[in-house]
Amino acid sequence: MKHTVAFIAAGVLSLGLGVSSGSNVAQASQSISLATGGTGGVYFPLGGAMAEAWSQQIPDLRVTAESTGASVVNVRIVEQGEAELAMVQNDIANYAFHATEMFADDSPKESNLGMALLYPEVIQIVTLADSGIESVNDLAGARVAVGAPGSGTEANARQILMAHDIAYADITEHFLPFGEAVDAIRDGRIDAAFLTAGIPTAAVVDLGATHDVSIVPVDPDMAEEVSEEWPFYAGFTIPGGTYSGIEDDIPTVTVLAMLVANADLDADLVEQMLEVLFAEETLERLCDTHARGCDISLEDAAEAMPVPLHPGAEAFFERQ
* Footprint of ligand GLU (CB under 6 A): 37-38, 41-43, 70-71, 89, 121, 147, 151-153, 196-197
**Beta carbon of residue 141, minimum distance to ligand GLU (angstroms, whole number):** 25
Q: How many other CB atoms are there within 10 angstroms of residue 9's CB atom? A: 9
What span, in angstroms and rounded, lies between the C-alpha atoms of 70 and 89?
A: 9
The amino acid at 170? D
**Beta carbon of residue 35, minimum distance to ligand GLU (angstroms, whole number):** 10
Pick the closer one to ligand GLU by CB: 70 or 139: 70
Closest CA to 156 of 88, 94, 233, 103: 233
**Beta carbon of residue 227, minimum distance to ligand GLU (angstroms, whole number):** 17
Pick the closer one to ligand GLU by CB: 196 or 242: 196
Give the dihedral of Cα atoms 309, 106, 222, 240; nearest 10 deg. Answer: 60
What are φ and ψ of residue 292, in 5° steps? -70, -20
**Beta carbon of residue 318, minimum distance to ligand GLU (angstroms, whole number):** 29
Pick the closer one to ligand GLU by CB: 254 or 272: 254
Cβ(269)–Cβ(27) below 8 Å: yes
Measured in whole angstroms, the distance separating CA 188 from the mean position of its chain's CA atoms is 28
Cβ(128)–Cβ(190) below 8 Å: no
Pick the closer one to ligand GLU by CB: 89 or 131: 89
Pick the closer one to ligand GLU by CB: 196 or 252: 196
**Beta carbon of residue 87, minimum distance to ligand GLU (angstroms, whole number):** 7
- CB within 8 Å of 119: residues ≥ 6 apart: 198, 256, 257, 292, 293, 295, 296
Pick the closer one to ligand GLU by CB: 58 or 195: 195
**Beta carbon of residue 197, minimum distance to ligand GLU (angstroms, whole number):** 4
Residue number with the smallest Cβ distance to ligand GLU:
41
